[in-house]
Amino acid sequence: MQVLTHSEVRARELVNAFVIKVYNWMAAGLAITGAIALYVASNESLLRYLATHQILFFGLIIAEFVLVIALAGFVNKMSGLTASAVFILYSALNGITLSLIFLIYARAAIATTFFVCAGTFTACSVYGMTTKRDLTSWGGFLFMGLIGVIIASVVNMFVRSSGLSLAISYIGVFVFIGLTAYDTQKIKSLALSKPEGIDSETERRGAIVGALTLYLDFINLFLLMLRIFGGGRE
């Protein structure tokens, strides 16, 4: 039985505390997104208004993009409270835009896919947290895969090929499975690199950025799986 030194025990405690904060914020973001998506989807007039007013919809998409850029690029210039507010606002706006999936897929299919995604995400995240293998080398490969998926998706907007759409979905699922494990290990490494006694503001900002990264991995994995397993409304 391996006996840990005091410093190793302390390092493990610090890592666990930081990781718990990351996952708590991620869970909060998903809960906000899910609650708002369900609320909008349950209000037929509101859902139809969103679906028929493209300027509003794309305005929300642009606002989400701006919030992600602001949070990822300028978080160190924000207070912990501001970073938290930006993350919560982004999660809420994403809930509004994601409500439109209820016009495309049956609720049972959405629920089933969500639980499949949650199980897959958890398994990948546990692997990234516990593996002794250095996943750093995955970064470049996964980034190229992500760029390829984005380019292919843009091309398919004009080609409108169902076969290409399905292929993009399958490749995208594998890319985000890898990114989930990779990003989880990065968060663990970040926690290990943080000096003891770091101020709470800096730690909170780091937890928010980590939560945003995993949140985006989860949402994209869910949407890609939904395209594969969701079928359509009957």
pLDDT, tens digit, for every residue of 109-145?
999 999 999 999 999 999 999 998 999 888 888 989 9
pLDDT band at residue 21 under the 50/70/90 scheme: very high
Residues 6+ apart with CB under 8 A from 234: 106
Whether the pLDDT of residue 152 is over 70: the answer is yes
Q: Over the Cα atoms of the chain, what is R_g? A: 19
Whether the pLDDT of residue 154 is over 70: the answer is yes
**Taking residues 15-24, what's their average pLDDT?**
88
Q: What is residue 137's predicted lDDT score, i.e. its pLDDT?
A: 87
Alpha carbon separation from 135 to 44, 128, 140, 145, 181 (Å, rounded)? 45, 8, 10, 15, 8
Whether residue 101 is contained in a domain is answered as: yes
Whether residue 234 is contained in a domain is answered as: no
Q: What is residue 140's predicted lDDT score, i.e. its pLDDT?
A: 87
Whether residue 25 is contained in a domain is answered as: yes
**Secondary structure letter of residue 133 according to DSSP:** S
**Secondary structure letter of residue 196 according to DSSP:** T
Whether residue 68 is contained in a domain is answered as: yes
Supply the range of the domain harboring residue 183.
6-229
Q: What is residue 161's predicted lDDT score, i.e. its pLDDT?
A: 84
pLDDT in tens, 167-224: 999 999 999 999 999 999 999 888 777 666 566 778 888 899 999 999 999 999 999 9
Is 28 or 160 the better-scoring residue by pLDDT?
28
Whether the pLDDT of residue 9 is over 70: the answer is no
Q: What is residue 4's predicted lDDT score, i.e. its pLDDT?
A: 55
- Provide the number of structural domains found in the chain: 1
Alpha carbon separation from 167 to 15, 102, 133, 164, 178 (Å, rounded)? 38, 23, 29, 5, 17
Whether the pLDDT of residue 33 is over 70: the answer is yes
CA separation for the pair 210, 75 (Å, rounded): 11
Residue 165 buriedness (CB in 10 A; 0-12 / 13-18 / 19+):
middle
Q: What is residue 232's predicted lDDT score, i.e. its pLDDT?
A: 57
Whether residue 201 is contained in a domain is answered as: yes
Whether residue 87 is contained in a domain is answered as: yes
Looking at every residue in the chain, the average pLDDT score rounds to: 88
Is 60 or 76 the better-scoring residue by pLDDT?
60
Residue 92 buriedness (CB in 10 A; 0-12 / 13-18 / 19+):
middle
Residue 201: CB atoms within 10 Å? 13
Whether the pLDDT of residue 3 is over 60: the answer is no
CB of 229 within 8 A of CB of 116? yes
pLDDT in tens, 62-113: 999 999 999 988 888 888 899 999 999 999 999 999 999 998 898 999 999 9
pLDDT band at residue 6 under the 50/70/90 scheme: low
**Angle, CA 212 vertex, CA 68 and CA 12 arms, to 5°:** 145
The secondary element (H helix, E strand) that includes residue 104 is helix 101-104
Residue 213: CB atoms within 10 Å? 20
pLDDT band at residue 43 under the 50/70/90 scheme: very high
Q: What is residue 10's predicted lDDT score, i.e. its pLDDT?
A: 65
With b for 16 or more beta-carbon neighbours within 10 A and e for fewer, the 55-78 pattern comes to eeeeeeeeebeebbebbeeebeeb
